Structure 1
């Protein structure tokens, strides 16, 4: 955390030395000490950037001193800044002088260690190779185990039965289960497949919700329902269907019994697949269950896996083979250490000296039975460059087996100031690089991929999470089960369990100086439980999406250091104008919960235009006032840092407004036509001036949600950087499609609810050169004329509720990149043409092509 604490302090100092708010000007003495601090901090950041990971052990004590000094300086500065009394910094002058002296002493010690060769300096290099982890994944050593489990699941027995995959941590139980779950034989054998990760600490509602989400693709808001209602919905979803239910990471036999009792027993060959560490869990529920014991990899399999993780399809250089075999043998036939060490070697220099160094540090001399997996995690962590360490350790804040969206994780890293600014990239882009690097090192697992091959959701292995929590327990993170244990050094607080009236035991009167910077709730608690955060005067992150508020908790606007807020509340009350007091706020996420109607609209105050540091505004439905006063010489400023704006209603995109949001990258908007307002007043043609826009979703609704409004005038114009476009309810003519087809970087196009209308669509040459995904949902299209040259990069075609379409053009089937066609409620002739394309693809050797009925 030394590096991260320095980065955070550097950004705080930068903000003070170059203030946007001129009322925060410093006196000469204060400016001098801030500049000296900034200089020392930047020196240490640059020094740590070039220290070899092999030197980590030698500077461990110095890292602790760096972290403590940086925390002390930033706490001192922000404590005074939050009170808006800058002159009081003089009262802390002596304290900051001591910090300066400490940083100077550390700098001298680092320079001496370098001169004495105790520290190895490495030349900075590109840490983000073009090859991605997905290209290095392989089923090595577990193919036979996958086939065995598939055979047991699909055998002829008609009774509901249980198959249990058992083994010690790190043997790959979940990997086998996931591979089985995605096997084509499983998809064709079972009518319904559902997955729920249970974990050590589980809630029955959450397990049911995850199963339903897996079946119906419902949002997690369904876990607000009672257990009885959720169980009833699960039963109805599975009745008279052959199903496969996967319960991953099961610790408690009772949950297996309960899930079995919730399911229909129709004697048609349904199955429950478990992964767990102990054999007796499944046998408690079903004495006749099949237990599949995971085996250890052989030396040959271990080396094969390690080679593939490091080199992919390339061959290992001959001079590294012998050392590599020794390294793989040190991993004891357990996949997890092999995966971790594979990540280390993949990112490191491929020299004999470094591989010998790795072999020496992985040779524990222990048997498989007592092999310490944490030692491999520790070694992998120590090989991380300093800029990645805090981002990795932050994963310990998450609940066990928790999948977090990439976009949210990146926003949290940025809000925590873990990301080093880069003049050529935004903080979010740099954070994306960090995430990809950690994925390449196999320290973060990807659970979902986007159509563009980007990480969509990710998580961390239980053993790695244990390491993160142990590593950061004193200074960084706490899984708060007993609030009186909160101590002065704590920086991150995670509410991983329900509080159950523990707040009254927590005496805040004597804890006004707590240095907590982040509070995150992962389970449902009372809105009153959140009020204790008022005592955390330096709080940066408040993630309380699991808590339901009747109104905006106005108390939090006094926490001026807040940078990230995520709340769930019934938005019948306006967001108070006092939110503009949060002058450091970067991300605001508001979720209305279950009620997603017109009666639950977030009304933003006009003062939102004063919050110049905002980067992301995410809502389900919101009204953003037009900044009239700002354009008439008011005290408003532009939202020049705003990158994300989602679900705003009926907003006018005048040139003046677009100039106030020049860096917008993602925009989700909707228009509800009242029959009186002219479409032209919304200035759709000005979209073309959003020069940084990459994602646009635009929805049009008529006065009635059933009857569509009049077609839009053809005055759309889109910026050339656009990569993803969703249009809904526009009722444009197919002849207007050339406006979309000419977008040179467009990769995803979704056309929903009569976005385009008319019986004929004739595609043109030279259009949609990069399009990978095309979705057409609910249209009156009858004939589609296209050949393979019109969509040369198309990988996936999805047709939904296209009742009038006669067939899928044969030219679509000739596109060499096409991998999948998805059909939902289409005509028989469309299904027939899709099957014909599948047969043709198979005949020409493309066995990976799929036609899927949604």
Structure 2
């Protein structure tokens, strides 16, 4: 954590340094900044092979940087709060955060820290002069982060083919009664990987009416398991709200009734967990199956009712080498000089697929030289003995070889509960807010964070759980064994505490993950703990549990408050005193009006508000005009929000350009005038809604100005009428969109299909969703040259009858989704000839439309191809056939 602590301190110093200020305190800040910059530069070019030699120095660097940042940020916080007083917002002068140390004691402490960092720098210089440490030269560049094709979809199952075929046979053969197939073995053998390959196999998808996947893990929470099952069964995020466990279980049973289903229950640890989950599934006597994975032999034995448990064993030498070769080289050949060493490395992985995959990720991202491969072999041989070895020994070595800039991002995954999937967009925002990302003048922080994520995926340290149709990472997670390592290492690094009992929280930790209900512990905590804790991030994973806001304000230097799972009645106004906050995610349950004092949060970058169970058009967040004064905002995300127009009279003429704003949604009836566009020049993602009252002209909202949002990549526009208006006016046809747009979703526009050329001409468009009569008319005829890069086309609710498509019209289309298209007669045969097409999804469509989809499927079968998958869903979004 030495690098991350320096990086964070460096960004804090950048915020407060004033070159023209000649005070003694500014001089000491400049001196501190110079030491920090030197050590950062050194770690940037330091080879991972120096890890053992630098371990002691890194601990000293971390402690010194933590202490310096605590001194500076506490002074900043005290100064801003005292100067703002009762003001509703912070002025530009406050935002400059010019630091004034309140006491001589703090000044002296900073001087000692500078002396300590100077001493460390001297040791580094001497080590370099003695050639005791290696420096990365420009010629030692690593392979670039790879795309989706480099993922482990294929390679991770090397050596598991026989196991795959055996279990496939058990799933599809008699008897007709419900059968549990248990897969067991030690951690790292690939149980989940094998189950995932079976679950996603096209024959399995065709054989079973319904499939669902749920992770149980050690920390079993029955309600979360039920919600996970419903999410998987319905193919969407189910919000249970206040639904009881009994009601959730009833919903699961209702969906499974009379259907042939396959359920995967991943990572079961106790018989109690198994019995609770198994009772949810009815025996329909139609060949339904359950796959269970576990590390515990007794659980596997007692779970299996007809077939004996399937024991997954270690890989043999040949399979280990094949897997390592696949991970490092893919379809390429291994250079002859590396083959012998590579086989020895794979042998020392002891047949554990996870070890092979991790070592393979390391070798893939490193130089392919005999010297480095021998270095890897030597290290794993020295750490792994014949009698006593653990997969954590491999993980520890892999971590020591990570570049310094990736270590905090990897360890942060320990914050997540076991088996937890996190969205890419959320993870990268959290990394940015926690200051793990090094600023780059040529790219946004989020773009750099996504590069870090891809690098960790290439190293197989982070698992991709779901890809978007455009080939981007959608959700990801971490293997349980790696998570355990992250928690152990983070404790030693004074970084992460996963809290089940509050006495474990103390001021050495920077990140706190709260996994259990704290309502009976908070009073004791408040009385016994120092209010000036050094915690920088608090993340809640408990659901619908009320929290006293004073518990949160105990963490006075908080940067990240992720409390989406906590129930707040209204905005917790007390948190506006936490002026170091950069990321806030909250769930409101009743009142949704933001106070003007939110502008006191002069460092705020991300604000996310979820309305909880009351998702309705009446559940709107009302933002104050002072929001236009918060110049550091990067992401504003709401289900529905009213954003006041920035008029001079409204906010006193002191608003500033929101040049950092990248994400805004969902705002209602907002006018996109030229003045507003100039205030948001870097907007990349926008969600807007327009409610038609029958009197207001569409043109008054100026949404045709979207074309001037030159950085916009994602746009979602929703147009709807008030309940007493049967039909709203169609959108004017002179709308236009920016050329950088990659994803476009339109709803309720009622535009003629003849005007689709405006959309079809977008050269970068990859995803197009048309909902609730976005376009109207009986015929849609595509033109040559349109939609050249479109990968996903979704049409929901339309009066379209005839659709004319040739195979040359949508050359990149991978997925077609049609729902509530009652009038559409058939899917054009040209769709089936598109070489990239993988899936056709239908829901509540005409019989003839379904028939035409099956004709396309049969045509591919006759040609020996099983490439296209047909998915049929009912109106409840339940997958009923595929």
- TM-score in same-fold range (> 0.5): yes
* Counterpart position of 1:7: 7
For residue 42 of structure 2, what is the aligned residue in structure 1?
Answer: 47
**Which residue is equivalent to 1:684?**
703
Equivalent residue for 2:589? 570
Cross-structure match for 1:388 = 406
SS in structure 1 of the partner of residue 169 of structure 2: helix
Q: After alignment, is 577-586 or 485-494 more displaced?
A: 485-494
Say if 2:384 and 2:393, in contact at 8 Å, map to a contact too.
Answer: no
Aligned CA RMSD, in angstroms, stands at: 1.9
Partner of 2:86: none
Deviation at 1:366, TM superposition (A): 5.3
Instruction: Give the aligned partner of residue 876 of structure 2.
Output: none
Counterparts of residues 393-404 of structure 1 (less than 5 Å)? 393-404=411-422
Contact 2:577 2:601 in 1 (8 A): yes
What secondary structure is seen at the aligned counterpart in 2 of 1:676? coil
In structure 1, what is the equivalent of residue 668 of structure 2?
Answer: 649
1:836 matched to 2:855? The reply is: yes
Return the offset for 1:287. Answer: 5.0
Decide whether aligned partners of structure 1 residues 705 and 566 sit closer, same or farther in structure 2, where only a CA change above 3 A counts. farther
Does residue 88 (structure 1) correspond to residue 101 (structure 2)? The answer is yes
1: CA distance between counterparts of 2:725 and 2:870? 31
**Corresponding residue to 2:293 among 267, 275, 294:** 275
Moved over 6 A (4+): 630-633
Match of 2:359 in 1: 341
Question: What is the aligned residue count?
Answer: 849
Is 2:625–2:650's contact at 8 Å kept on the other side of the alignment?
A: no
Q: How does 1:618-633 map to 2 (within 5 A)?
A: 618-629=637-648
Relative to structure 2, which stretch is displaced further, 183-192 or 650-659? 183-192
Cα distance in 2 for residues equivalent to 1:633 and 1:261: 63
When the two structures are superposed, what TM-score results if normalisation uses the length of structure 1?
0.97
Q: CA deviation at 1:571?
A: 4.5
Indicate the residue corresponding to 2:546 in structure 1: 527
Deviation at 1:841, TM superposition (A): 3.0
Q: 1:326-352: CA deviations, max 9, x gaps?
A: 000001111011011000000000000
Aligned twin of 1:718:
737
Q: Structure 1 residue 116 and structure 2 residue 130: aligned?
A: yes
The match for 2:575 among 556, 578, 584 is 556
| Alignment-derived partner of residue 815 in structure 2 | 796
Partner of 2:614: 595
Matched position secondary structure for 1:82: helix
Name which of structure 1's ranges 267-276 and 391-400 shifts more when overlaid on structure 2: 267-276
Higher relative contact order, structure no. (Cα contacts within 8 Å, ≥ 6 residues apart): 2
Answering whether residue 482 of structure 2 is matched by residue 464 of structure 1, we say yes
Matched, 1:61 2:74: no
With the length of structure 2 as denominator, give the TM-score of the two structures: 0.94
What secondary structure, in the 3-state scheme, does the structure 1 residue paired with 2:784 have? coil
Aligned 1:355-370 pairs, distance under 5 A: 355-364=373-382, 370=388
Residue number in structure 2 paired with 1:22: none
Q: List runs of 5+ in structure 1 lacking aligned partners.
A: 20-24
Counterparts of 1:531 and 1:245, CA distance in 2: 43
Corresponding residue number in structure 2 for 1:77: 72
Secondary structure of the 1:635 match is coil
Match of residue 117, structure 2, among 96, 103, 106: 103
Provide the secondary structure at the position in 1 that maps to 2:46.
Answer: coil
Per the alignment, residue 144 of structure 2 pairs with 128
SS at match of 1:240: coil
Which residue of structure 1 lines up, in the alignment, with residue 261 of structure 2? 243
Look up the SS of the partner of 2:547 in the other structure.
helix
Q: Does 1:608 align with 2:627?
A: yes
Kindly provide the CA deviation profile for residues 46-69 of structure 1, in whole angstroms up to 9, marking residues without a partner as x: 111111111111101111111111
Q: How do 1:49-448 and structure 2 match up within 5 A? A: 49-84=44-79, 86-89=99-102, 91=104, 92-124=106-138, 125-126=141-142, 128-130=144-146, 132=148, 133-134=150-151, 137-138=154-155, 139-222=157-240, 224-285=242-303, 287-364=305-382, 370-448=388-466
Structure 2 counterpart of 1:819, from 838, 842, 847: 838
Give distance in 2, aligned partners of 1:240 and 1:609: 56
Q: Distance in 2 between matches of 1:544 and 1:632?
A: 30
Q: In 2, Cα distance between the equivalents of 1:465 and 1:449? A: 22
Distance 2:328 2:31 in 1: 44
1:554-599 deviation line (CA, Å, top 9, x unaligned): 1111100000111111242411111100000111111111111123
Counting only pairs closer than 5 Å after superposition, residues 754-773 of structure 1 correspond to structure 2 as 754-773=773-792
* CA gap 1:693/1:659 in 2 versus in 1, 3 angstroms: same
- Paired with 1:722 and 1:596, the residues of 2 have a C-alpha distance of 28
Aligned to 1:691, the other structure's residue is in SS state: coil
Counterpart secondary structure, 2:275:
helix
Question: Post-superposition shift, 1:185?
Answer: 2.2
Q: Counterpart of 2:437 in 1: which secondary structure?
A: coil
1:706 to partner: Cα distance: 8.9
Residue 703 of structure 1 corresponds to which residue in structure 2? Answer: 722
CA distance in 1, matches of 2:393, 2:343: 19
In the other structure, the counterpart of 1:493 is: 512
SS in 2 for 1:797: strand
* Further displaced range: 265-274 or 693-702: 265-274
CA contact (8 A) 1:571 1:602 kept: no
Equivalents in 1 of 2:127, 2:238: separation in Å? 53
Between 272-281 and 823-832, report the one with greater CA deviation.
823-832
| Cα offset, 1:633, TM superposition | 6.3
Aligned 8 A contact 2:582 2:606 in 1: yes
Q: Aligned-pair distance for 1:368?
A: 7.0
Q: Conserved in 2, the CA contact under 8 Å of 1:631 and 1:656?
A: no
Structure 2 unaligned spans of 5+ = 81-98, 874-882
Any conservation in 1 of the 2:411–2:490 contact (CA below 8 Å)? yes
* Contact kept in structure 1, 2:514 and 2:542, CA below 8 Å: yes
